[in-house]
Structure 1
């Protein structure tokens, strides 16, 4: 890792490419969060469905309860999969690969430094000497 997070040794095109890759990974991370939310919400819906089935049974609607139990409780969300399997597949086959390439790019081109694009942006946009605009760790004042 460099002592200067702005990496003055790197050309602008490399820094921009690293920044765009980082932004893409952050977008994938956000999508992954939505996928986990989908996983959790679907599980919650199935538990609520099970409660409704019990209530239908208690209310004398046993036929409806039996059909719901048979056809919907524990049903695959997509062909052959519950949501935990979707999440696992995403993590292993897409997210993990994406993260590995982001790491490779940073290792090969920037000595492992993260957010070089943002470090340069901070240096450009902060007001020198302003008390709320300090450079901070690994950035020069």
Structure 2
């Protein structure tokens, strides 16, 4: 048994088209990882700000009011980029570059291969697997 219909190229689709869509898909995967790192940056920056606030409060309790005041006025709650906290950076990325990339990738698949995903990888799997060998099945036994 080979791959299911969703992972088989439609008739008339050439190798270069499948390869191009594979590269676009690979680029989208990199964008997804970058987006994850951006969310990690967002979370770590927020954690740092709240932990800093705790440290500033402890400085104040220890009698270091002048230094605590400086941290509080200059750093606690400060923008990480001009005019932006990290949630604003994440939103701008999601609403701009990320959503456009996802949309255009979907348009390419819809236009060229009836919306099918991972055709390049499915064909690579067919080439590399050992047919009729346990652990090398084309798809789950449903």
Aligned residue runs from structure 1 range 38-49, under 5 A: 38-49=41-52
| Alignment partner, residue 5 of structure 2 | 3
- Secondary structure of residue in 1 paired with 2:7: coil
In structure 1, the residue matched to 2:101 is: 98
SS in 2 for 1:60: coil
Structure 1: stretches of 5+ with no match in the other structure: none
**1:24 counterpart residue number:** 27
* Correspondent of 2:83 among 80, 85, 88: 80
8 Å CA contact 1:39–1:84 kept in 2: the answer is yes
Runs of 4+ in 1 over 4 A off after TM superposition: none
Taking the aligned partners of 1:120 and 1:8, their CA distance within structure 2 comes to: 13
- C-alpha separation in 1, matches of 2:29 and 2:7: 19
Using the TM superposition, give the Cα deviation of residue 4 of structure 1 relative to its aligned residue in structure 2, in angstroms. Answer: 5.3
Give the match's secondary structure for 1:134: coil
Q: What is the distance in 1 between the residues matched to 2:131 and 2:117?
A: 23
Deviation of 1:8 after TM superposition, in Å, equals: 5.6
Matched residue, 1:64: 67
Q: Determine the structure 2 residue equivalent to 1:89.
A: 92
Q: What number of residue pairs does the alignment pair up?
A: 136
CA distance in 1, matches of 2:36, 2:25: 16
Q: What 5-or-longer segments of structure 2 have no aligned partner?
A: none
Contact kept? 1:106, 1:114, Cα under 8 Å: yes
Task: Report the CA distance between 1:6 and its aligned residue.
Answer: 2.7
